[in-house]
Amino acid sequence: MVADIERLRRHCDGDLCISGVNTVFFGRSGLRTDRMDQRFVRQAIATGAEFAFLHVGGNDISPTSTPRKIFERIVELVSTFKNAGMKEVWVTEIITRGNFSKVPGLTKEAYERQRIRINQLLHKKFGKHLYSSKTLSTRLTIYKI
């Protein structure tokens, strides 16, 4: 997903052309919520952004992870951004991926089981504010928090 965001940033020269909005692209490949450096979070907050779009959780899925814990860390991250004064935070559902070679023991089936359960939990918590975005992916759903 970071690669997709980077392509979007390059395509629009770093400016989404939304009147009165300063756009900052902030991310890192391979980021996991259970290993997220608080300095990284503080840097994101320090941009002064009023809005955040979070795409996290996919890298957290492993053979030993639990969907509930991943979900709780996503909710905690959202709370951190909201408590820092951001007006709105959007979280995307975790999308299907195809390369599992970097996670020993993780199969597509195990990934999908956890991904689906995490997305169910996200939908249950944020579902009434569900937004769909066809511009990022036909499989991507955005939850407004």
132 in a structural domain: yes
11 in a structural domain: no
Give residue 68's pLDDT: 98
- Domain of 84 in residue numbering reads as 21-144
- For the chain, which residues score pLDDT lower than 70? 1-25, 128-145
C-alpha separations of 121 from 22, 63, 94 in Å: 32, 19, 11
Give residue 101's pLDDT: 84
Give residue 132's pLDDT: 37
Give residue 51's pLDDT: 82
Domain total of the chain:
1
Give residue 37's pLDDT: 78
pTM confidence score: 0.79
